Amino acid sequence: NYTLLSNGLASLSDKVDHVVVEGTGGWRSLMNDLRPLSEWVVQEQLPVLMVVGIQEGCINHALLTAQAVANDGLPLIGWVANRINPGLAHYAEIIDVLGKKLPAPLIGELPYLPRAEQRELGQYIRLSMLGSVLAVDRIMA
């Protein structure tokens, strides 16, 4: 429900300096009412921080997502590489290609970590890379 999301965002924005809204499943992922979460992000005019699961096929997916974000009129402020497969042979090459092709800076690389949800991952993100964007109080990730 977009209204619930907007009310929750407004409530949080009143209490903290910055809010990061996590989206899961991709830019056009559907909510329970079959509307894409991206419509709400556009409605709220949130800048986008993209997380790319580094695997075969991710270059295409990341470039299409960046294009969709731009087509929706929102800024892509950065991207984070998430190493989801420790055995991926071409990891460095994929990071290099994405760094050259995506229209936003790489601000972090999350290494493969078993049980990552139980770890402090902030140490792998360089928020200083976002520069003036940090003045924005709400970000979609």
pLDDT of residue 140: 63
Whether 138 shows a pLDDT value over 70: the answer reads: no
pTM: 0.87
pLDDT of residue 135: 56
Domain ranges of the chain: 18-140
Distance CA 38, CA 23 (A): 9
Mean pLDDT of 36-44: 94
Distance CA 119, CA 93 (A): 27
Mean pLDDT of 12-23: 82
- Structurally, at CATH architecture level, domain 18-140 sits in 3-Layer(aba) Sandwich (3.40)
Residue 12's pLDDT band (cuts 50, 70, 90): confident
pLDDT tens, position by position, 49-102: 999 999 999 999 999 999 999 999 999 999 999 999 999 999 999 999 999 999
Residue 81 φ/ψ, nearest 5 degrees: -90, 125
Distance CA 47, CA 69 (A): 9
Distance CA 66, CA 69 (A): 5
93 membership: H or E segment, kind and range: helix 91-101
pLDDT tens, position by position, 109-125: 999 988 777 677 778 88
